[in-house]
Amino acid sequence: MNAPLAAGLSAAAFDHLAHLLHARSGLVIGPDKVYLLETRLAGILKQHRLADLSALAERTRAPGAETLIRAVVEAMTTNESFFFRDDKPFAHFRSQALPRLIGARSPGQGLRIWSAASSSGQEAYSLAMIVAESRAALGGRGVEIIGTDIAREQLNRAKDGLYSQFEVQRGLPMQMLVKYFRKEEGNWRIAEALRAMVQFREWNLLADLRGLGRFDVVFCRNVLIYFDQPTKARVLDAIAQMMPPDGLLYLGGAETVLGITSRLVPLPNERGVYGLAAGAAAPAAGPLRAAAAT
C-alpha cells in the first residue's frame, strides 16, 4: 500500500481524483498540488459531511455521483479574470483585427467572436465594449459574441453582469465604466445594451466544439495553461477547424501554439495572436492570413 500523500489522502485516492479531473476538464494536477485539492474542495467536504479527500474520492465512485463530480470539477477551476486583461490583445483586436475583418467581409456578413473560457464574463464584455465603440465602422454588420465556460457559477455571474468595485477597478478604463455600467448598491451592473450583445453558454472545451459554429475571432486565454500537451493540441486543432482562413486566435501570455500544433502560426511581430497556417483551411488570400513568424 502506498504512503498517504497528505493527511486524509491516500495515493490511490489522489490518483483517482487526478484522473477524474483530467478526464472531465483537462486539468492536470500533480502530487505537488495536493494543497489545491485541500483548499478548493474543503467546502464540498463540509457540505457532504465527508471526513477527508479519500472519503470524497470514494464517494465520487458511488452510483449517482454525477452532481458531486460536477461540483468537484467546478471547484477545481481557476476563474481569475479581469476587464481588458493584458491590454495588448484587446488593442490588437480593436485596431487591427476588427477593421481588417470588416474590410474583408461583405456588408451583409456578420462577424462571430468567441470567448472560449469566459469565466465571469469580463473578457466577453471587454470585446463587446470594443464592438460597441466600433459601431460606425461596422456599417450595420451584426456581431455575435459567445462566451463559454465549464463552470456554471461563473456563467451565471457572467449572465448577471454584476461586478464589485474591486473588479471594475482592475483594467476597466474610467470612461468605459461610466458609459457601460450603472452603480447598484456598491456594485456595478453592465448596461443592458452590452449584456444583450453577449450570449453565455455552458461548454466543455474537451467536448465536440463544432456545435458552436464558426468564429472569425477566438479568445482562448489563460485556460490552456492548465492542460497537458495532448489536450492543448486537441483543443487548438478543434479551434483551428472552426476558423475561416482569415480568422484569428488570441492566447494568454503564457500560452503558445508552437510545438503543439502546426495548424496555427503566430502573426508576424504580434505576441499571442495566431492565424491559420497555409493549407490548414480552404485557401483564401484574406488580408489577415498569417505567415509563420521567423
Ligand X SMILES: C[S@@+](CC[C@H](N)C(=O)[O-])C[C@H]1O[C@@H](n2cnc3c(N)ncnc32)[C@H](O)[C@@H]1O
Residue 122 Cβ vs ligand X, minimum distance, rounded to whole Å: 6
Exposure pattern of 207-220 as b/e (b: 16+ CB <10 Å)?
A: eebeebeebbbbbb
Backbone angles phi, psi at 23, to 5 degrees: -70, -35
Q: Which positions from 96 to 135 touch ligand X by CB under 6 A, shown as an x/- string?
A: ---------------------x-x---x------------
Q: Which of 6, 68, 206, 238 binds ligand X (CB under 6 A)?
A: 206
| Choices 7-15, 131-139, 145-153, 171-179 (CB under 6 A): range interacting with ligand X | 145-153
Contacts made by residues 56-60, CB under 8 angstroms, sequence distance 24+: 56/13, 56/17, 57/12, 57/13, 57/14, 57/16, 57/17, 58/13, 60/16, 60/17, 60/20
Q: How far apart are CA 119 and CA 270, in angstroms?
A: 25
Q: Please identify, using beta-carbon distances, which residue of 52 and 255 lies nearer to ligand X.
A: 255
Residue 49 Cβ vs ligand X, minimum distance, rounded to whole Å: 26
Q: Please identify, using beta-carbon distances, which residue of 111 and 209 lies nearer to ligand X.
A: 209
Q: Which of 60, 78, 96, 187 binds ligand X (CB under 6 A)?
A: 78
Under the binding rule (CB under 6 A), the answer on residue 149 touching ligand X is: yes
In DSSP terms, which residues pair with 248 in a beta bridge? Answer: 217, 275
Residue with C-alpha cell 464540498? 44
Residues in the site for ligand X, rule: CB under 6 A? 25-26, 77-81, 85, 117, 119, 123, 149-151, 154, 204-206, 221-223, 252
